[in-house]
Amino acid sequence: MLVDSHCHLDYPEFADLADVVRRAEAAGVGAMLTIGTELSRFPAVLAVAEAQPNIYCTVGVHPHEAGKGEMVQLDELLRLADHPKVVGFGETGLDYFYERSPRAQQQKSFRIHIEAARRLQLPLIVHTRDADDDTMAILKDEMKQGAFPGLIHCFSASAEFATEAVELGFYISISGIVTFNKAQNVRDAIKDVPLERFLVETDAPYLAPIPFRGKPNEPAYTRYTAAKLAEIKGVSEDEIETVTTDNFYRLFTKAPRPAEGF
């Protein structure tokens, strides 16, 4: 089976969760990770995860939300992560493209999430856009204070960034962007990333892969991203399916691995 390692199933596009799950299962996607973006939305995220045995979730504050209201507190992240369905922290990180929150607030929130990941040794889901230098600087600085697991979500950075992330022990998660005609830079950047460091994701309902670009994305479409990754790496789709799923459960150690999907 495949695992969609990043989607947003609490969004209104997925009101009929049972149908989403059925289509995913038919496409060979046997598990999904639905991602927290605001603490105020966390109950809805958790409810989605609790509704299906092979949906997991994370808790966190997206960089867009980092400057809204009170700063996220470490104790609250740790408390919410005590739930068995919560398997990681995020998404967090830096977004200097939209800058919907002040940079200083984004950076502070990012470091708080990192400390939570370090304390519990649960993976950190990192969002970085137009902020790769600061993102990597913070990751390296924090890693000196104690190791923590994590991944770069929706990878769209440089080959150098990918190499540095892998050297830190991070995984690289590939989205539908890799199928876009104008994304040759992304395809080039991941050519030398070892297979044992890849995950695949949709970021649904965003970034639908070709041939669905422009339409709402959904977990069933993970297979199209996996197929493109297989082409880039020169291996079979079956190998990508096996490797990326093994990688997911190696990273997300708190997620129980299903025997046969849903």
Any binding-site annotation on 203?
A: yes
8 labeled part of a ligand binding site: yes
Q: Which two tokens stand for residue 32?
A: 């999904």
91 is in an annotated binding site: yes
174: CB partners within 8 A, 6+ apart: 155, 190, 198, 199, 200, 201, 225, 229
Q: Is 62 annotated as a binding residue?
A: no
For 212-230, b where at least 16 C-beta lie within 10 A, e where not — what string?
beeeebbbbbbbbbbbbbb
Q: What angle, 0 to 180 degrees and rounded to 10, lies between the N-to-C axes of helices 132-143 and 159-167?
A: 10
Is 113 annotated for ligand binding?
no
Q: Say whether 64 counts as a known binding-site residue.
A: no
DSSP string, 209-234: PTTSTTS---GGGHHHHHHHHHHHHT
Question: What are 134's strand-pairing partners?
Answer: none
Separation between Cα atoms, residue 110 and residue 130, nearest integer Å: 15
Contact 28, 2 (CB under 8 A): yes
Residues tagged in the binding site annotation for a divalent metal cation: 6, 8, 91, 127, 153, 203
Residues tagged in the binding site annotation: 6, 8, 91, 127, 153, 203
